[in-house]
Chains A and B, each alone.
Chain A
Amino acid sequence: MSDEAPTALDEAWVASLARARGLPLSRERAVELAAEVAPTLARFRAVVDALSADDDMYEFRRLLQRGTAA
């Protein structure tokens, strides 16, 4: 689990997201999930911020097939 503490906003966001997906969650479970989800998504969004607009999702398969970045 992340050592970053979730905020009240994170908990509310997780609870509302779960409701939107049709998943009933207790407040306790929303707190637990927020502790994991919110920091992970925040880190993820910081990481993918390095992408340029023309980084294409289909580039991966082409690179993999070729086996080289050149």
Chain B
Amino acid sequence: MSDLWAWPLAELVAALRDGRLTPAEVVEAFLARAEAADEMLACFIELRSEQARVAARDCSRLPADGRALHGVPFAHKDVFAGDGVAPSSAAKGVRLRLRAARSAVLDRLGAAGAISLGTLNLDPFGYAATGVNPDYGTTRNPWDPARIAGGSSSGAAAAVAAGAVPFAIGSDTGGSVRIPATLCGVTGLKPTLGRIPKGGLVPLAYSQDTLGIIARSALDVALVLEQVAGYDPLDPSSAEVDAPPFHARIERALDAGPAPLAGLRVGVDDVYVAQHASADIAAGIRDAVARMEALGATVVDVALDCLERYDVVATVLTWAEVAAVHGPTFLRDRDRYAPATRARLELALAADGADHVNALRYQGYALREFLDGPLGSADVLAVPAAPSVAPLLASVDHGSEVDAVSASVALLRLNRPFNLIGVPALAVPMGFDALGLPMGFQLVGRPWAEETLLTTAAALQQVTSWHAARPPEPQPVPASP
């Protein structure tokens, strides 16, 4: 069972369902990898090994029928209330008070039979995009521990890439699922705003906070999405939109023939890509788009210059809401915040009430413009999710608060425009650079078009093996004497 971590999630589920594997065997196999990965990468806040073993024993006594993720391990970014334990948000000095005692998404996963291995590391409060964390240790990239994992869901992406868990739950306010997924070479979905209930989440910016899923493949993401998506009457941001059986529908689409993407229009703006991404990333996107074309898709030119406007508005909107969430605490306990968080919160205090209202008004304006424009002529857009491969940690964390902010801004500006307008976006691996570091891009679609994005990525992953590539093995933790 040494390679259990690399199994497609559907195969793992099937083996647990028909008794070829027991929950205890699966949990032990992943715990062994998680311990080794955490030692090398600092991806967990708390690895709850004993709790997971007890849950696995309890799980074994329950029928698998009706529990779609029976016995499947996972972990989550430490920003969710659960089991009476307040999340740390990966910040030791400050803990925000939540009214919710439980997380809707964790409850849904528990009801589906999934077993939590613990909580995952992040940039403090999720308010940065590098994974640098002075309180809990900086999450390292599994492909090269001298490099950042990206953030803010740094631990989630690193843990999945290292095979510590089959999937992880993160959150994405400006790219926090897609950035680390891209830099770590795994698949990460930011669904439509309101698709997954966010009750019990520590907020960052209410108008854009979105829960997301990181897994190795688009099919794995689809299997989890259908368990956690759907209306929650207790969540004011939850939308009354049904969650279809994504996984089965995507598999059917892939079985349809040699051109599973026939009829799909893929929008590309070469000028935008060239302006915002390295030559390697631009070449990778061209290659991925050519492969989609070979699978039946049609490539269309779109103009994405509007995204720079959306980025500015998303920045100010986030400032206003972060200031509302943290303002009083920050002014009282400023020195308890990590330096990079402190630097960004100081910026956030600049937005006033009128700025906030105007940014909220612009959300509708921008969404209408985008649906009429780029998403009027294309079904999916292929755009960069990071300007380059993962930067060296030494290049983003050398003590300067200004540099720390700049590193995050460079990563966020390609992603947060899609948080502003609430549309789904999926980070997809697209190969490796000359150093062997993973490269990725994102597919963006219309509201509620997650199935289209996941089908497109799954078709691409059916004819490539980038998503299945393995980073160097984490070093085993020496046995206790």
Spell out A's residues near B (CB within 8 Å). Answer: 1, 14, 17-18, 21-23, 25, 29, 32-33, 36-37, 40-41, 43-45, 47-48, 50-51, 55-60, 62-69
Query: Contact check: which of B194, B361, B405 meets A48 at CB < 8 Å?
Result: B361
Quick check: is B193 within 8 A (CB to CB) of the other chain?
A: yes
Interface size class of B (residues with CB under 8 A): 35 or more
Q: Tell me whether A40 and B194 are in contact (CB under 8 A).
A: no
Q: Tell me whether A63 and B371 are in contact (CB under 8 A).
A: yes
Q: Tell me whether B313 and A48 are in contact (CB under 8 A).
A: yes
Distance in Å: Cβ of A6 to nearest Cβ of chain B: 12
Q: Tell me whether A47 and B312 are in contact (CB under 8 A).
A: yes
Most chain B CB inside 10 Å of its own CB: which residue of A14, A18, A57 = A57
Contacts of A21 in B (CB 8 A): 327, 331, 349
User: Which stretch (B215-223, B283-291, B362-370) binds chain A?
Assistant: B362-370
Distance in Å: Cβ of A39 to nearest Cβ of chain B: 10
Q: Tell me whether A44 and B312 are in contact (CB under 8 A).
A: yes
| A interface, over-half SS | helix
Q: Tell me whether B362 and A36 are in contact (CB under 8 A).
A: no
| B interface, over-half SS | helix
Q: A56-B361, A60-B367 are in contact. Are A44 and B349 (CB under 8 A)?
A: no
Query: Contact check: which of B316, B401, B447 meets A64 at CB < 8 Å?
Result: B447
Q: Tell me whether B239 and A69 are in contact (CB under 8 A).
A: no
15 contacts between A and B (CB under 8 A): A1-B405, A17-B349, A23-B346, A40-B312, A45-B355, A47-B362, A48-B362, A57-B357, A59-B364, A60-B360, A64-B193, A65-B194, A65-B447, A67-B448, A69-B376
Contacts of A48 in B (CB 8 A): 313, 358-359, 361-362
Contacts of B15 in A (CB 8 A): none
Q: Tell me whether A51 and B361 are in contact (CB under 8 A).
A: yes
Quick check: is B279 within 8 A (CB to CB) of the other chain?
A: no
Not counting A1-B406, A17-B350, A64-B447, a sample of 17 additional A-B residue pairs whose C-beta atoms are within 8 angstroms of each other reads A21-B327, A23-B349, A32-B402, A33-B347, A33-B350, A44-B358, A47-B313, A47-B362, A50-B365, A51-B365, A55-B361, A55-B365, A56-B361, A59-B361, A63-B364, A63-B368, A64-B192
